[in-house]
Amino acid sequence: MESREILQGMKQPLIHVGYPKSLSSWMQKLLFVPENGFCKVLDPLAAQLFVIDPPPFNYSNDASCQYMQQQLDKYLPDAAKRADTVPVITSEALVGHTYCGGYNAKTNADRVYQLCPQGRVLIVVREQRSLMRSLYKTFITWGMPHSIDRLLNPVDANLSPQFNLDFMRFDSLVSYYRSLYGDDQVLVLPYEMFVTEPTVFLERLLHYAGVSNAAELIGKLPLTRRMNRNQTLLNLMIQRWLNAVFLSGPFNYAGLFPSTEERLKQRIRRSKKNPFPAFLDNCFEKQFASKVNKAFAGQFEQSNRQLVDLTGLDLARYGYAL
């Protein structure tokens, strides 16, 4: 079974591969929906199960294609409506495992190309320091007990994949997808463009995706709606200590209690409440920013310049180190 057969008669598929913390949830929940002319034929969960997770020698396209067919039958049973619909494969995890330095990014890209070679790729990048702050929040919520110093200085990294800065050197991922799909079939947009100029961001995305009624669609989208609230670093520090002592999981097998879905939900709810004075969190934010700035100094300029050369984007306008 091939995706070409399943998606025949539809518009060219859009393959959104990430990055995480870069508008992914907003697009998946509010943009890539049937009423806007899109259909998620592979959503993040399906992409994880059928594309990312299979062991190296057990991967095939069959499960993904079966899921695609089920999604079309569920959301677009009328074949006539499919001709005006853009099928979407979307998962920010396709750029590689965030905590493990994106070690599987190339494997994911190869599998995506094997599954859907007729697609066009969307990559949304985010300025590295801002991305690091948001990723750290996510890691703590997942149950990670590490300080930012420990995260940025992995121990015995040769023994297992750990976080490393290569994950945020975007030019490597962009170049590889361009080598697979072609230069004109990979669109890169900065997250900061959506923050400052959401209409421009969406016009470029929708034109690239082949959506004809872009202006009408943009007019009804909730451009100011946020899908994820920020979490204060003081709250995260307290949660990090709790993770180290009490939470048993893939980050720390020595914890007293196993991690469960309900405990994850509790951590998310707890992290959104801040009972402490604002000046305390400002202090932690300054310390965190200082450590990240020191670790990132001189690390991304070459990569960002390469990305500018590849895409023509004015990244200096959005605060990227060049």
How confident is the prediction along the chain (322 residues), in pLDDT tens digits per residue?
Answer: 789 999 999 999 999 999 999 999 999 999 999 999 999 999 999 999 999 999 989 999 999 999 999 999 999 988 778 899 999 999 999 999 999 999 999 999 999 999 999 999 999 999 999 999 999 988 998 888 999 999 999 887 777 788 999 999 999 999 999 999 999 999 999 999 999 999 999 999 999 999 988 999 999 999 888 767 667 787 788 888 888 888 888 887 877 778 777 777 777 666 666 666 666 667 788 899 999 999 999 999 999 999 999 999 999 999 999 9
Asked if residue 241 is part of any domain, the answer here is no
User: What CATH number is attached to the domain comprising 76?
Assistant: 3.40.50.300
Asked if residue 246 is part of any domain, the answer here is no
Neighbours of 207 (CB within 10 A): 12
Contact 24, 16 (CB under 8 A): yes
78-109 CB burial, b ≥16 within 10 A, e <16:
eeeebeebbbbbbbbbbbbbbbbbbbbbeebb
Asked if residue 149 is part of any domain, the answer here is no
Range of the domain at 218: 3-126+161-228+300-318
Domain count of the fold of the chain: 1
Radius of gyration of the chain measured on its C-alpha atoms: 20
Rounded Cα–Cα distance for residues 17 and 119 (Å): 12
Asked if residue 288 is part of any domain, the answer here is no
Asked if residue 196 is part of any domain, the answer here is yes
Could you tell me the CA-to-CA distances from 244 to 197, 257, 291, 317 in Å, in that order? 41, 11, 21, 40
Asked if residue 292 is part of any domain, the answer here is no
Asked if residue 286 is part of any domain, the answer here is no
Contact 258, 154 (CB under 8 A): no
> What's the predicted TM-score (pTM) here?
0.92
Rounded Cα–Cα distance for residues 310 and 307 (Å): 5
Q: Which two tokens stand for residue 287?
A: 């310390």
Contact 94, 47 (CB under 8 A): yes
Asked if residue 61 is part of any domain, the answer here is yes
Contact 107, 176 (CB under 8 A): no
The pLDDT of residue 102 is 94
